[in-house]
Amino acid sequence: MTAAEADWTEAVRLLSSHDDVTLVCHVGPDGDALGSMLALGIALRDKGVAVRASWGSRPFEVPAAYAALPGLDLLVEAAEVPAAPALLVTFDTGSVDRLGVLADRVGTADAVLVIDHHTTNTRFGTVNLVDERAAATAVIVVELLDRMGLPLTAEIAAPVYTGLITDTGSFKYAATTPSVHELAARLLATGIRHDVISRDIWDTAPFAYVGLLGSVCSRAELDSDAVNGLGLVWSTVTAEDLQLHGLALSDVEGVIDVLRTSREAEVAAVLKTDPEDGLIKVSIRSKGQIDVGALCSSLGGGGHRFAAGFTSADPCEVTVSRLREALATAPHLPA
Ligand code: AMP
Ligand code: MN
Ligand code: MN
């Protein structure tokens, strides 16, 4: 479902009638969550609005891949987010629980604008700008800026480009439409250093990551019988791995991209233990035959058709068997 014309009108009206706006994105922000939030934040600040942006998980540290983005000075720690914001805007967040410790602000804010593209979005805003067909939340933000008549400056284009390449895997995934490339052309025309942005996201990691990847990949398991014979490849990133290699959870986002290269498996999963809360954050990808978004919803999480996740309080073995069970009965998508 794309957003209705009435939702766009309401969204523009909300943003045009507030001179103080609070922005929040999902916990453990990725390039689209952070990028879409910073892009709107910069645009609003440029027009004189008082803006702050945050997310509700720890550590409150910008992942290294995004540390050179413009607009980071808009960020405030979760504790500094007003108790009852006049206007709260959420980015790339499919459900209230994905706001972590800031989830309560959805109830205390006077108005809530939800900007998102998750198929599992629960429409928890007073206005919901949800377009499941958008390749990234950042795409929706650009349409919003256009409708508000705000300029797409190079400062805004950089975080938008970050969201776009994060969620399309650098224009490789099925969500990459002609309009995605047209938007990319518009962004590049502002003069952004897309080469540096891409290198920071895809081609830069601490040397310790190579070591961690070695351990994680060497214990990866291929279960050819899983998913009704379509195959599952999975591995774990333990709290000990992170500690041993001196890495944060945000440093290991790319592990799933290595595992999912396995030709023999339709589905790939990485079970990452969050050292902050001890919970297992499960990342799942499929190659097109299994709707892992729906699957993760049934396990308490959410996401998109071919990229999704859930959080588990169970030990690793229990989590894997719950996942296997759900995968065994998951309906296959038409080819
Ligand atoms: P990730 O594997 O963390 O890159 O996440 C893949 C997709 O699934 C993203 O769109 C996330 O927003 C979504 N996702 C991951 N974990 C969860 C969760 N616990 N609940 C809902 N959505 C999730
Ligand atoms: Mn995201
Ligand atoms: Mn996204």
pLDDT of residue 334: 87
| Ligand 1 site, residue 94, Cβ cutoff 6 A | yes
Angle at alpha carbon of residue 92, lines to 19 and 266, rounded to 5°: 175
281, 286, 297, 314, best to mutate for ligand 1 pocket (most atoms within 8 Å of CB): 281
| Ligand 1 site, residue 260, Cβ cutoff 6 A | no
The residue whose C-alpha atom lies closest to atom 15 belonging to ligand 1 is: 309
Q: Is the pLDDT of residue 59 over 90?
A: yes
Average pLDDT over residues 221-230: 98
Task: Give the number of the atom of ligand 1 that is nearest the alpha carbon of residue 118.
Answer: 10
| Ligand 1 site, residue 3, Cβ cutoff 6 A | no
Helix (H, G, I), strand (E, B) or coil at 253: coil
Q: Taking the alpha carbons of 239, 242, 243, 244 in that order, is the dihedral positive or negative?
A: positive
Task: Give the number of the atom of ligand 1 that is nearest the alpha carbon of residue 28.
Answer: 3
The residue whose C-alpha atom lies closest to atom 6 belonging to ligand 1 is: 308
Question: What share of the chain in percent tops pLDDT 70?
Answer: 100
The fold for domain 208-328 equals Diaminopimelate Epimerase; Chain A, domain 1 (3.10.310)
The fold for domain 5-202 equals inorganic pyrophosphatase (n-terminal core) (3.90.1640)
CB 164 within 8 A of CB 65: no
* Residue 17 pLDDT class (50, 70, 90 cuts): very high
Written as one letter, the residue type at 61 is E
pLDDT of residue 130: 98
In 3D space, the residue among 201, 228, 199, 233 whose CA is nearest the CA of residue 216 turns out to be: 233
Angle at alpha carbon of residue 243, lines to 241 and 245, rounded to 5°: 70
pLDDT of residue 2: 83
Task: Give the number of the atom of ligand 1 that is nearest the alpha carbon of residue 308.
Answer: 8
Task: Give the number of the atom of ligand 1 that is nearest the alpha carbon of residue 93.
Answer: 12
CB 292 within 8 A of CB 307: yes
pLDDT of residue 260: 98
| Ligand 1 centroid distance, CA of 4 (Å) | 25
From CA 244, how far away is CA 240, in angstroms rounded? 6
| Ligand 3 centroid distance, CA of 34 (Å) | 10
CB 51 within 8 A of CB 75: no
pLDDT of residue 26: 98
pLDDT of residue 335: 78
Total residues found in the chain within this entry: 335
CA end-to-end distance (rounded Å), the chain = 21
Average pLDDT over residues 271-289: 98
Helix (H, G, I), strand (E, B) or coil at 306: coil
The domain locations on the chain are: 5-202, 208-328
Question: Minimum-distance ligand to the CA of 303?
Answer: 1
Q: What phi and psi, each to the nearest 5 degrees, are found at residue 23?
A: -110, 135
